[in-house]
Structure 1
Amino acid sequence: MQMRNTIFKRDDVDLIITDHSKNADVVCENIKKCKYFNNCYYVKTGGSRDNRTKMQKILDIFLLSFAKKNRFEYYLRDISDKFFDEIMVFNYDMRTYGVFSILSLYNHDIKVSRFEEGVLSYSVEILFTQTRTLIGKLRKIIGKPVIENSFLNFYCFYPQIYKGYLKPVEVPMIQLNSEICVALRKVFELDDKKLSYKYKYIFFTSVYDFEGGKPVGEYELVCKIADIVGKDNLLIKTHPRDTRTLYVDNGFNVDENSSVPWEAIQLSGKFDDKVFMTINSGSVLSGSLMSKNKVKTFYMYKMCDYKGNESCQKNVIDIEALLKNSNMKSIFNNVQVAEKIEDIL
């Protein structure tokens, strides 16, 4: 929405929202009401992210290389005018190939870009794989546009720290109480009551007690924090993929807005007097980095045992590299890696 309101203010822009996030259908309808985009489409993916068999992968290669249609054409089913100049995606994967394969039939010069609001995801960019390279070679042989030759921009808030293949383009910062913030409140149905956060300490949970390998002991860490600050002063913002009722069952205060992206909440509220805590969530950074409203933030992975969790290990490496980046030191002056629990006081 910020890109639409700034960089692409004079352009025609269509938005596709998939069912990969909770309540995405409601969000889509609310975005339509805001009239930020020329069109907004809600797409049920029908399991497009499911693991494929070897034969299905071979079929994908054949269809994406030679055919006019493929299994991802339903993404564009409701779009009548399929002539676009640029495709912009969060996640670059086989779905991107499928959409590009179809849209490039209408515009051979169509470009492909990424956009990302989470600084910890700037480095998550696997553009070239054996399968994708093979598809590109086959398309080139028969004279079709090749996606590797169509890469263009990487839209982000901090282009100075992006080191990838694409051309970094800066997205203007979001001003607190701006038009975008007002629109976000409408899109995610956030009223004043939902934005009233009385707790001083807010802990953002991760997925590493149930994903990525051996549990890291996040719940045990939260219990220790509660012993120090008191349960009545602590709010738990659970991860969207965490379907457990562990925190509620054990008497913790759990954010009723846990299904709403935290960035939207922070940009719509005031959190200067709060303390954010997490093992390694990127959400605690994203809201602050999108605007000039910074919040005291602690990363607490040193109080967890993440040696048996490969995904968590990689995330820690990314966090430490980011915090050490000379271009970001002034921006991260409110962010610390806690050495002990008492550091949060």
Structure 2
Amino acid sequence: MILFRCDSVYQLMNAIQIKMTLLKDESADLLLSDHTNFDPLIPALQESGIFEEVKRLYSKKKADEYWTYTKEERKNISRHPQKYVDMTVFDKEYTEFYISFETAYAKLMYYAMVKKGMHPKVHLFEDGMATYVCDVNKRCMEDGMDHESYKEDKFIENIERLLLYNPALFTGEKMPFPIEKIPAIDYKNKEVKDIFHHIFGEAKLPKQKFIFLEEAFFDDKIPSNDLELVLRIAEIVGKDQMIIKLHPRNKVNRFKEYGFQTMEHTQVPWEITLMDEDITDKILFTVSSNASITSKLIFEKNMNVIMLYRMFTGKTWLMGNANFSLYHERSIKEFNKDRKNIYCPHSFDEMGEILKYIEGVEKIERRS
């Protein structure tokens, strides 16, 4: 029996895609944590029949608390995980455990299953940019757990594979397990689209031509110049032609006082909008958000993205990762093979030239 665990709507979308394609003949349960409010989605998920059972996991408090303990306390927790995690969710014999990112709590869940006599194989799956630049072995060495005490059941020794939409983009450290492809979501297939619409709903793109995808720098308390970048872009393209897609974690709308229009938070994932709409008549701006390239990544649909990380003055943990630049270099090379989809200017002058170029491409594509 398979158990999927999801913390976000994007993870849930990917779990559904994996289940409907790679595991369509397998029985699987779904575990939804309280890191996201999944309540509105649960009735439709249950009706869809994709998963045999949809369960809830209330783990956020314990997941956050784990990092407040000393290294020795964390080691003791890992030796007795059944005292820390919710054991009631393991009411079946699970042989496969699908998790999107190997968080500390997810690893404790794995060890709790081991303590209960299960020996599940772990499958890691797509969760945006972090999945492509991660070093699972290093993260295991830094989590404070006593992995060695589990011997042949050690977490990293039981990872079966990593599932990504585009394995060629992986720039993390060499893994002792294979990296395999998740099939692109078939947006032309009405049956597939109907399933995603039934679960997540539908949403339209805004009328504005230019969309800026905010990132969580403000919520993460990372000093940055993203607001200054937005103000300069507005001077170039016109504020009335621009809209801001706020990051879900940022509770403060920093752009409203400057007169910017913003996209409201909804339960419908950005990816569902991309599935339904042709985005080539829009131009997306972002510093480094992976949401800007998901059109190409998970649907293989063209887009126009201007990434501003070369003009960004802040420092995030991802940008500090040695594999960050390589990931973006590979993304540009991969997604610009047949058509220019991603641009990375060094200056506003270069950005102006890029905008002129995109305008010319749009005219050609409209005529063809």
Range of TM-score over shorter length:
0.7 to 0.9
The equivalent residue for 1:298 is 306
* 1:2 partnered with 2:17: yes
Q: 2:288 aligns with which of 273, 280, 283?
A: 280
> More deviation in 53-62 or 92-101?
53-62
1:174-208 Cα distance to aligned partner (Å, 9 max, x none): 12243333322232222xxx314211111101122
Higher helix share: 2
- TM-score with structure 1 length normalisation? 0.84
- Superposition RMSD in Å: 2.8
Distance across 2 between alignment mates of 1:295 and 1:327: 13
Query: What's the CA shift string for 1:28-48, capped at 9, x where partnerless?
Result: 333222221111122222512
**Quick check: 2:82–2:115 contact (8 Å CA) kept in 1?**
no
Where does the alignment leave 5 or more consecutive residues of structure 2 unmatched?
1-15, 357-368
Query: C-alpha separation between the residues in 2 aligned to 1:303 and 1:68?
Result: 45
Task: Report the Cα distance in structure 1 between the residues aligned to 2:266 and 2:108, rounded to whole angstroms.
Answer: 32
Which of the numbers 183, 201, 208 marks the counterpart of 1:189?
A: 201
Give 1:55 shift.
Answer: 5.5
- Residue 292 to residue 28, structure 1, CA distance change in 2 (3 Å): same
Distance 1:234 1:327, change over 3 A: closer
Cα distance change, pair 51–304 in 1 and its aligned pair in 2 (3 A): same
8 A contact 1:115–1:154 mirrored in 2: yes
The answer for the alignment partner of 1:45 in structure 2 is 59
Cα distance change on mapping 1:100 and 1:78 into 2, 3 Å:
closer
| C-alpha distance in structure 1 between counterparts of 2:105 and 2:213, whole Å | 30
Indicate yes or no: 2:122 matched with 1:112: yes
Inter-partner Cα distance in structure 1 for 2:318 and 2:115: 41
The one-character-per-residue Cα deviations of 1:44-70 (angstroms, maximum 9, x if unpaired) are: 2251232447766534433432x4723
SS at 2:153 equivalent: coil
Partner letter of residue 311 of structure 1? W
Give the length in aligned residue pairs: 331
SS in 2 for 1:91: coil
- Residue 211 of structure 2 contacts residue 245 of structure 2 at CA under 8 Å; is this kept in 1? yes
1:126 aligns with 136
Match of 1:256 in 2: 264
Which residue matches 1:330?
Answer: 337
**8 Å contact from structure 2 (residues 78, 145) kept in 1:** no
Q: How does 1:133-144 map to 2 (within 5 A)?
A: 135-140=146-151
Query: Quick check: 1:323–1:332 contact (8 Å CA) kept in 2?
Result: no
Matching residue's letter, 1:338: P
Give how far 1:334 is off.
0.7
Does the aligned pair in 2 maintain the 1:28–1:42 contact within 8 Å? no
Aligned residue type for 2:340? N
Return the letter of the residue paired with 1:3. Answer: I
Decide whether the 8 Å contact of 2:32 with 2:56 is kept in 1: yes
3-state DSSP of counterpart to 2:83: coil
Shift of 1:13: 1.0
CA–CA distance in 1 between the matches of 2:304 and 2:44? 32
Contact 1:89/1:115 (<8 A) preserved: yes
**TM-score, normalization by structure 2:** 0.79
Find the aligned partners of 1:39 and 1:267 in 2 and give their Cα distance. 27
Candidates 195, 205, 210, aligned match of 1:201:
210
Deviates more, 1:222-231 or 1:330-339: 330-339
Q: Structure 1: how far apart are the matches of 2:288 and 2:110?
A: 34
- The 2-side partners of 1:249 and 1:315 are apart by 34
The SS at the match of 1:69 is helix
TM superposition shift of 1:293:
1.3
2:249 to 216, 241, 244: 241
Could you tell me how far 1:262 is from its partner in structure 2?
Answer: 1.8
Q: 1:268 to 1:319 in 2, by over 3 A?
A: farther
> Could you list the per-position Cα deviations for residues 300-332 of structure 1 after superposition, in whole angstroms to 9, with x for gaps in the alignment?
2333323xx243643796145432465555277
Distance 1:292 1:320 in 2: 21
For the 8 Å contact 2:121–2:159, the answer to whether it is kept is yes
